[in-house]
Amino acid sequence: MTKSPRKFFDPRFIWTEKRRQNRLAFILFWSILMWFFFKTYVVSVGIIGDNSMQPSLGKGGYYLVNRYIYYFVRPERGDIVVFRDAKYSPREEVKRVVGLPGETLVIRDSEVYINGRRVHELYKVGGTYPDFGPYTVEKDRYFVLADTRWVREDSRDYGAVPFQVIGGKIEPGVLFPFR
């Protein structure tokens, strides 16, 4: 009777061989590699660090960030996006897209006007002060504002956000929130 050749994932254990350690190292290596790939390019968990997106996203809430959607489509008005304020900054900002590339945006009397038409924003809290604009959004950039408008750290301060730094989209209620 001849023995069949052993395979890498053979369940038989032989003490003189190091197959078990090699198998565990193989599984560990690929698990870490897949976790990194999944977290970077597919879905990751984000934590809301400020009150700027109340009541849509509460401070301290955990949300899934869809990281792959913007490989296929561009952001639309009303999308909640995650981006880094600087290229190598560890801090991620969460804001809502209001102005798209090529549009002219004006904030007057606490209302947002795009190309002369008022935008109906059901999600905003409070007035948008002070008056701002006119501002034309450049190509491949997006004008973002917080839902709680008196929290003043948005595109009025640092300009429109380049598409390259937008890292994903949060969809409250679609990609379930964790509390």
Q: Which residues are catalytic?
A: 52, 95
Query: For residue 139, which phi and psi values (nearest 5 degrees)?
Result: -65, 140
Largest CA distance in the chain: 91
Q: Give the tokens for residue 132.
A: 């701002």
* Contact present, 100 and 137 (Cβ < 8 Å): yes
Helix (H, G, I), strand (E, B) or coil at 25: helix
Distance separating alpha carbons of residues 66 and 68, to the nearest angstrom: 6
